[in-house]
């Protein structure tokens, strides 16, 4: 079976230096895949590569049958990938509802089905839809950011550290929402700092270090791997 | 000095001047927030708008207020043209290069005005206008029109920004440009829209300055500092802040005559600008710090 997303030997960076070296990974339909690794490993960079924001010098990125390696960002959005960056991922001065509307900017016509879908995933947001997003708590901001990304009904959602800085309670809630999102037929590729919890929750995982993938496997296998545990999970 | 005198000689003229500054400052604040540079040709574009209206008035005999919409459209077209011809090529370069380029554009636009219309003062209509008296307040019709038009234009802009899809796209681009691009918002269209609005409002500022005083090739350049002071006083990116800032700067300039020789009137704007940058760089309504 062909994967929804496949990075094959991707090498590239922002300027002359290659941050990613020969990265190969894939995400299948309706799968939750997590990338873990130390700070500066290139996890965010790998996501940007998928989203056309990196100078890819070698390798290819195939999504749903199309080679999207050199595509412009808006074309990638249109094709069915949405991306929630690690930081600055909301419009602070706009209301929750307007944040969602901007997420659907490329969609013509009636948006009510898209709003319904996102508000049913995030009931808290619906109550506060007129509130400026910048005044919300960290967890709620993350929900706005995810909601914005889901407005176009993507096939693949890229989440860069959605639980960074959140309390364990919110982290559980975000993970639960990821499962709910996956149950609406959206595959998720996410980067996580909380490696243990994330590997326990994801279907599969990759360990990225110094711009290369070092280990891959099911979440449980990676958690059980002694080398992985020693390197990245704090024993 | 009694209250009526204060209102008649200082506050009312200050509010009228402030409304003119506000029209320019709104464009400056939008350009600042969305394009992220200080646009130094704003004043001279206002001059151009005022003289375009003069040409229409002289050619057709229509009153300047009727010529205003045409002057606004023409100036908006010029503003978009300047962006396409010059600023667009500098988009990826450090912003200071565009700021310097806009200074060059300012000189160029002024030169065009001087070549076409000369350097002598002109006016839309000849003769003296007597103010009407309302409960002791002496107000000229044109002063009422200035304030009313400013309010109508700014209200229309606010509704556009709050309600329309592209108005929201402009706010999104000002709020978080990289996320706006990630959402598929077309930056080039937002930039064109920003110039249409800023150019149109520039022309309105120039025309109302011309209606209330006279037309000179330096008229807009002399408004540049007060307009910037107004935009920064109100908070960069804040339309209602730019209006508030414009009114405050206008009134402050008129009031300054009470304590300072009138040659120092223009220094008021500079003092306000400096004070705000030192004390509260986000402005009264918490704008961006650039
Ligand atoms: N915009 C950029 N321009 C140049 N270099 C960058 C840029 N962003 C990141 N880098 C560099 O790329 C390398 C990988 O960074 P990246 O942000 O992908 O790491 P990460 O694994 O996401 O780390 P973290 O856990 O801190 O988020 C780092 O050395 C970083 O300095
Ligand atoms: Mg990162």
Q: A50-93 pLDDT, tens per residue?
A: 998 888 888 899 999 899 888 988 889 999 999 999 899 999 99
Does residue A119 sit at the B interface (CB-CB below 8 Å)? Answer: no
Which tokens is B161 given?
A: 């920004």
Q: Is the CB of A194 under 6 A from ligand 1?
A: no
CA angle B280, B285, B290 (to 5 degrees): 60
pLDDT band at A234 (very low <50, low <70, confident <90, very high): low
Q: Does B212 fall in a domain?
A: yes
Q: Is residue B128 part of a domain?
A: yes
The DSSP letter of residue B125 is S
Which pair of tokens denotes residue A31? 């799968």
Contact between A198 and A190 under an 8 Å Cβ cutoff? The reply is yes
* Cα separation, A44 vs A47, whole angstroms: 5
Q: Do B168 and A101 touch (CB under 8 A)?
A: yes
Tell me the C-alpha to C-alpha distance, in Å, between residue A169 and each of A64, A202, A214, B228, B269.
35, 18, 31, 48, 52
| Count of domains observed in chain B | 1
The residue nearest atom 8 of ligand 1, judged by CA position, is: A45
The answer to whether residue A70 is domain-embedded is no
Residue B272 lies in a domain: no
**Number of structural domains, chain A?**
1
pLDDT of A149 > 90? The answer is yes
The phi and psi torsions of A212 (rounded to 5 degrees) equal: -130, 150
Query: Shortest Cα distance from B193 to chain A (angstroms)?
Result: 16
CA of A31 to the centre of ligand 2 (A): 21
The yes-or-no verdict on residue A235 having pLDDT over 70 is no
Q: Is B182 within a domain?
A: yes
Contact status of B178 with chain A (Cβ, < 8 Å) = yes
Quick check: A232 pLDDT over 70? Answer: no
- Tell me chain A's radius of gyration from C-alpha atoms: 17
Half-sphere exposure at residue A119, Cβ-oriented, CA atoms within 13 angstroms: 16
- Residue B85: what pLDDT? 95
Average pLDDT, chain A: 88
Q: CB contact, 8 Å: A71 with chain B?
A: no
Host domain of residue A113: 29-44+76-232
Q: Are A63 and A52 in contact (CB under 8 A)?
A: no
Question: A19 CB less than 6 Å from ligand 1?
Answer: yes
Query: Distance between CA B142 and CA B131 in Å, rounded?
Result: 9
Q: Are strands A204-209 and A212-218 parallel, antiparallel or unpaired?
A: antiparallel
Do the beta carbons of residue A139 and residue A174 sit within 8 Å? yes
Ligand closest to Cα of A14 equals 1
Segments in A128-167 forming alpha helices (H): 138-150
Residue B93 located in a structural domain? yes
Give the distance (Å) from ligand 1 centre to CA of residue A36.
Answer: 14
Q: What range defines the domain where residue B77 resides?
A: 21-219
Pocket probe for ligand 1: among A14, A35, A42, the residue whose CB has the most ligand atoms within 8 Å is A42
CA-nearest residue, atom 18 of ligand 1: A42
Q: Kindly state whether residue B228 falls inside one of the protein's structural domains.
A: no
Whether A118 is in a domain gets the answer yes
pLDDT, mean of residues A151-177: 90
Residues in chain B, pLDDT under 70: 1, 290
- What pLDDT, on a 0 to 100 scale, did the predictor assign at position A209? 79
Whether A17 maps to a domain, the answer reads no
Query: What residues pair up with A13 in beta bridges, in sequence order?
Result: A55
| Residue in chain B nearest A149 by alpha carbon | B183
| pTM: predicted TM-score of the whole model, two decimal places | 0.90
Orientation angle between helical segments B165-175 and B12-35, nearest 10 degrees: 80
- Percentage with pLDDT > 70 across chain A: 96
B162, B182, B241, B286: best to mutate for the A interface, most A CBs within 10 A: B182
Atom of ligand 1 nearest to the CA of A45: 18
Residues A189/A219, Cβ–Cβ less than 8 Å: no
Supply the CATH number for residue A206's domain. 3.40.50.300
pLDDT in the model for residue A1: 58
Among left, alpha and beta (phi > 0; psi -120 to 50; other), residue A55 is: beta
Q: Is residue B226 part of a domain?
A: no
Measured between beta carbons, the chain B residues lying within 8 angstroms of A130 are none
Per the domain annotation, does B10 fall within a domain?
Answer: no
Is residue A112 within 6 Å of ligand 1 at its C-beta?
no
Does the pLDDT at position A109 exceed 50?
Answer: yes
Asked if residue A58 belongs to a domain, the reply is no
- Give the per-residue pLDDT at B279: 86
């Amino acid at each position: 079976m062909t994967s929804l997303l496949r990075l094959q030997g991707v090498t590239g960076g922002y300027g002359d230096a290659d941050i990613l070296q020969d990265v190969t990974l894939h995400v299948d339909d309706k799968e939750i895949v997590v990338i873990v690794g130390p700070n500066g490993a290139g996890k965010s960079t790998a996501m940007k590569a998928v989203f056309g924001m990196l100078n890819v010098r070698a390798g290819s990125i195939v999504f749903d049958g199309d080679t999207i390696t050199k595509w412009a960002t808006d074309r990638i959005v249109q094709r069915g990938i949405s991306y929630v960056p690690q930081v600055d991922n909301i419009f602070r001065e706009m209301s929750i509802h307007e944040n969602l509307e901007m997420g659907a900017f490329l969609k013509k016509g009636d948006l009510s089905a898209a709003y319904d879908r996102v508000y049913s995933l995030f009931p808290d947001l619906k109550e506060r839809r007129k509130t400026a997003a910048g005044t919300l708590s960290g967890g709620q901001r993350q929900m706005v950011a995810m909601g914005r990304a889901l407005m176009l009904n993507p096939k693949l959602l890229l989440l860069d550290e959605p639980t960074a800085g959140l309390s364990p309670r919110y982290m559980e809630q975000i993970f639960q929402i990821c499962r709910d999102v996956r149950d609406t037929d959206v595959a998720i590729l996410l980067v996580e700092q909380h490696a243990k919890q994330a590997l326990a929750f994801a279907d599969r995982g990759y360990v990225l270090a110094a711009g290369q993938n070092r280990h891959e496997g099911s979440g449980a296998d990676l958690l059980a791997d002694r080398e992985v545990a020693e390197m990245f999970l704090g024993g | 000095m009694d209250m009526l005198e204060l209102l008649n000689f200082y506050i009312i003229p200050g509010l009228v001047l402030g409304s003119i500054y506000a029209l320019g400052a709104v464009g400056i604040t939008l350009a600042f927030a969305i394009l992220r540079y200080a646009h130094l040709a704003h004043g001279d574009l206002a001059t151009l708008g005022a003289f375009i209206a003069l040409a229409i008035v002289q050619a057709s005999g229509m009153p300047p207020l009727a010529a205003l919409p045409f002057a606004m459209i023409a100036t908006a077209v010029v503003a978009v043209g300047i962006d396409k011809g010059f600023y667009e090529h500098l988009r990826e370069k450090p912003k200071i290069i565009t700021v310097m380029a806009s200074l060059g554009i300012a000189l160029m636009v002024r030169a065009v005005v001087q070549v076409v219309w000369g350097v002598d003062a002109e006016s839309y209509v000849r003769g003296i206008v007597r103010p009407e008296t309302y409960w002791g307040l002496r107000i000229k019709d044109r002063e009422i029109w200035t304030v009313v038009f400013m309010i109508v234009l700014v209200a229309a802009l606010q509704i556009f920004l709050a309600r329309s899809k592209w108005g929201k796209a402009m706010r999104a681009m000002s709020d978080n440009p990289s996320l706006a691009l990630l959402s598929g918002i077309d930056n080039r269209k937002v930039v064109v829209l920003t110039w249409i609005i800023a150019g149109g409002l520039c022309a309105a500022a120039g025309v109302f300055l011309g209606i209330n005083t006279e037309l000179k090739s330096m008229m807009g350049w002399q408004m540049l500092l007060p307009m910037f002071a107004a935009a920064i006083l109100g908070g960069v990116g804040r339309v209602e802040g730019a209006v508030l800032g414009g009114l405050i700067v206008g009134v402050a300039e008129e009031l300054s005559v009470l304590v300072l020789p009138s040659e120092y009137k223009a220094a008021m704007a500079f003092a306000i600008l400096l004070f705000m940058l030192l004390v509260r760089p986000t402005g009264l309504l918490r704008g961006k710090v650039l």
